[in-house]
Amino acid sequence: MYMRVGKLYREAGKKPPVSFEFFPPRDEKAEAGFDRTLDSLSSLDYDYMSVTFGAGGSTKEGSYNTVKKMITDRKLPTVAYIAGYGLAPSDITKVLDRYKALGVETIFVIRGDEPKDPEFSPHPDSFEHASDMIAFIRERYDFDLGCAGYPEGHIQAESLEKDIEYLKLKVDNGAQYVIAQYFYDNTCFFDYVTKCRAAGIDVPIIPGIMPIYSMKLTKMLCNLCGSTLPRPIAEKLEELSSKEKGAVAEYGIEVAVEQCRDLLDRGVDGLHFYTMNRSKSIAAIVQQLKNRNRLYE
């Protein structure tokens, strides 16, 4: 199923679009789990799904096959990521040509991380910044384009203000919407949006929601992404770590529901959930929001 996400956000009206993000499964066992996750989440009232793309093209085939399954086999509205770090421009066009042939209408563009493979060597003509890649794609394709924003600043940025300058360049070069890195303090997100608007960034900025799935995963992701875990949440997680299995995930659902309720009450343009290829927490969060009349009014 085709999906122009820039248009979706522009024409959403009072109903905030809901989206789910996945990564391509790595093996047959993960594939089976992923299929179950799709079965569960595709039954919800949502607007689109997205599939990530590994550093240096490491999941190029896996990402393509996942997108193909979702569009061709399951008829799901799907957005494809592309991460251009280290890739030659010709490699990028090959990837995009294949997505275009599938019927993909929206590409989410990120620079991506440097691959951990010590034998990886970036192409000398690879794009240094996501903004450069967005301009390259805009000149050659008719995709709707999305890009990433970082409410607490990208971990490699010299400052939040400089990071917002880079975001402005992405938008100037053709990005039509922004998905924010996840955060747990809504004040941080709204302060970020205010600064972006003051900088002249006028496209929709969608909050990214990362439910707390487990203590270990939460700490690892916060360290990796530079997201801050507020002290009350951190203290509660420490308290729950010795409780019965599942207590942390249940608390994570509670935190995410309250976070999303506040975001929706304050008029955000949509909600983007980082699923980590899991369904239980996401399904519970979306259902509770629906039951409390915070979605689909």
Measured in whole angstroms, the distance separating CA 219 from the mean position of its chain's CA atoms is 19
Q: Are 116 and 15 a contacting pair, CB within 8 Å? A: no
Q: Is 79 left (phi over 0), alpha (psi -120 to 50) or beta?
A: beta
Structure tokens at 49: 């799904």
The span from the CA of 273 to the CA of 51, in Å, is 12
In the block, tokens 């799907």 appear at: 78
Q: Are 56 and 87 a contacting pair, CB within 8 Å? A: yes
Q: Which runs of consecutive H residues, i.e. helices, occur in the chain?
A: 5-10, 28-41, 60-68, 89-102, 130-140, 160-172, 186-198, 215-225, 231-240, 247-265, 280-291
Marked catalytic residue, from 11, 21, 152, 297: 21
User: Which residue in 153, 155, 145 sits closest to 223, CA to CA?
Assistant: 155
Evaluate the CA torsion angle 32, 34, 36, 39 in order and state its sign. Answer: negative
Q: State yes or no: is 31 an active-site residue.
A: no
Structure tokens at 170: 């992405």
The span from the CA of 288 to the CA of 291, in Å, is 5
User: Which residue in 98, 129, 97 sits closest to 111, CA to CA?
Assistant: 129
Q: Using DSSP, state whether 50 is helix, strand or coil.
A: strand
Distances in Å between the Cα of 86 and the Cα atoms of 10, 55, 92, 149 are 33, 9, 10, 21
Active site residues: 21
